[in-house]
């Protein structure tokens, strides 16, 4: 079945800078903004952009992610001649098979999948960004310019630029130089890790790169520089909306707090719905003593205490007299009566017992940071988890 464009979503990364939160799950499976998971954003963007075939490349801790994506039905990606496919590393007859050694290698190992659809273009996405984007418009720009590759870019401040892959654009409007994390950036256009390639061109470069023993098999480090060196037409596609990487505790917390303001990323937009696979739970209940202000609350929650500036995923419990402020509570988290959670992230199904105190208000010190309690951890009664703490396991927080 011929498709003009299919998407390949790189969802195999570990997300190691999220520490306890991604110890057992892949980063794309991270809960976000109440009822979502990070992967809902690229999957919904695909569905909304009319891209109905998506290969999801998994590697690190794939079980939860596979279960979450399932048949793709929540995103309307379960069509009969396309849909969403989980693509794990695999073995072939006569070969030893291997893990994906880099982003480019992951696509290289799945060339047969792409060939089945004989696409004109392939859209490469990553599973660790929060944004709403119409890939169809990017595809139009790519085709109109006759580019071999189009890279989505966003303007960042010159101070932030050294953290990104920076594109320098020539007078002809095409990219003339790419610098990965430059110390002295020449431009403020950062790559968003979203690429559209002409498939035949990309295939040639993937095969060549695979044969190069010095290559790290990475799009940003190898494929793009090689294309530039060979004089291919690389088009920058400027994106100006909300886009956040959620790869660190601070950025994950910041981006969740951004969801409390429509102006940043309007999730209520009926024209561009972000869809999620939701657990089957009744509406949330706010009790007689509840006080919920400037917060996001999801179905299945039971709130008897105070909640302000917080993002609550599905089935969170906040007991009477408990306080939750400037925090993110992931699905099934329990804050018992009288406990305090502030400036913190509490992982899935974790419990903060009565009288425990997680996190602390910013004190202006260098060492201050958001406190993180990983999934399935119980913080016992009366225990204090200080700012910047990273709790992997209940054994770390014994009284």
Q: Is there binding between residue 268 and other proteins (CB under 8 A)?
A: yes
DSSP-derived secondary structure for 261-281: STTT--TT-TTS---------
Cα separation values, 123 from 48, 93, 234, 356, Å? 14, 29, 14, 47
Give the H/E segment covering residue 224: helix 224-229
DSSP-derived secondary structure for 71-127: TSGGGT---TT-EEEEE-----TTS------SHHHHHHTTHHHHHHH--SEEEEEES
Q: Is there binding between residue 286 and other proteins (CB under 8 A)?
A: yes
Candidates 82-90, 183-191, 240-248, 275-283: pick the segment binding other proteins (CB under 8 A).
275-283
Give whichever of 38 and 387 is closer to other proteins, judged by the CB atom. Answer: 38
The DSSP code for 314 is T
Q: Is there binding between residue 281 and other proteins (CB under 8 A)?
A: yes
The contact pattern for other proteins, residues 14-53, with x = CB under 8 A and - = no contact, is: -------------------xxx------------------
Are 62 and 70 in contact, with CB atoms under 8 Å apart? no
Give whichever of 152 and 256 is closer to other proteins, judged by the CB atom. Answer: 256
Q: Is there binding between residue 284 and other proteins (CB under 8 A)?
A: yes
Work out the number of other CB atoms within 10 angstroms of the CB of residue 191: 21
Work out the number of other CB atoms within 10 angstroms of the CB of residue 382: 12
Q: Is there binding between residue 385 and other proteins (CB under 8 A)?
A: no
CA distance 45 to 361: 36
| Residues in binding contact with other proteins, number by CB under 8 A | 36
Among 298, 317, 323, 372, binds other proteins (CB under 8 A): 298
Among 45, 110, 295, 353, binds other proteins (CB under 8 A): 295
Q: Is there binding between residue 278 and other proteins (CB under 8 A)?
A: yes
Q: Is there binding between residue 377 and other proteins (CB under 8 A)?
A: no
Within 311-330, which residues bind other proteins (CB under 8 A)? 311-313
Among 86, 136, 260, 320, binds other proteins (CB under 8 A): 260
Give whichever of 104 and 297 is closer to other proteins, judged by the CB atom. Answer: 297
How far from chain centre, in Å, is Cα 129? 4
**Residues in touch with other proteins (CB under 8 A):** 33-35, 74, 260, 267-268, 273-276, 278, 280-299, 307, 311-313
């Amino acid at each position: 079945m011929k498709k003009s464009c299919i998407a390949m979503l790189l969802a195999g990364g570990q997300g190691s800078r999220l520490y306890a939160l991604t110890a057992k799950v892949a980063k794309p499976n991270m809960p976000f903004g109440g009822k979502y998971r990070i992967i809902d954003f690229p999957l919904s963007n695909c569905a909304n952009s009319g891209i109905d075939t998506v290969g999801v490349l998994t590697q690190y801790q794939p079980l939860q992610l596979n279960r979450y994506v399932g048949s793709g039905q929540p995103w309307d990606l379960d069509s009969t001649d396309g849909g969403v496919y989980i693509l794990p590393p695999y073995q072939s007859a006569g070969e030893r098979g291997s893990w994906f050694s880099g982003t480019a290698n992951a696509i290289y190992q799945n060339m047969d999948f792409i060939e089945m659809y004989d696409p004109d273009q392939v859209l490469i996405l990553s599973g660790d960004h929060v944004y709403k984007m119409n890939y169809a418009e990017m595809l139009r720009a790519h085709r109109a310019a006759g580019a071999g590759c189009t890279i989505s870019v966003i303007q960042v401040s010159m101070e932030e630029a050294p953290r990104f892959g920076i594109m320098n654009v020539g007078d002809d409007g095409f990219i003339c130089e790419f610098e990965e994390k430059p110390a002295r950036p020449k431009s403020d256009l950062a790559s968003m890790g979203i690429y559209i390639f002409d498939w035949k061109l990309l295939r040639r470069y993937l095969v060549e790169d695979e044969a190069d023993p010095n290559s790290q098999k990475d799009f940003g480090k190898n494929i793009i520089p090689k294309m530039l060196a060979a004089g291919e037409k690389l088009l920058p596609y400027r994106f100006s909306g909300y886009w956040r990487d959620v790869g660190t505790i601070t950025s994950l917390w910041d981006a969740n707090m951004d969801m409390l303001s429509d102006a940043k990323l309007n999730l209520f937009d009926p024209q561009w719905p972000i869809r999620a696979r939701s657990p089957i739970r009744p509406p949330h209940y706010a009790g007689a003593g509840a006080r919920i202000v400037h917060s996001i609350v999801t179905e299945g929650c039971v709130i008897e205490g105070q909640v302000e500036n917080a993002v609550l995923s599905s089935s969170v419990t906040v007991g009477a007299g408990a306080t939750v402020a400037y925090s993110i509570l992931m699905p099934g988290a329990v804050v018992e009566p009288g406990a305090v959670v502030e400036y913190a992230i509490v992982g899935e199904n974790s419990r903060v017992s009565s009288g425990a105190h997680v996190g602390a208000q910013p004190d202006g010190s260098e060492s201050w940071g958001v406190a993180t309690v990983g999934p399935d951890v119980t913080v016992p009664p009366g225990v204090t988890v200080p700012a910047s703490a990273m709790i992997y396991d209940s054994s770390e927080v014994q009284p």
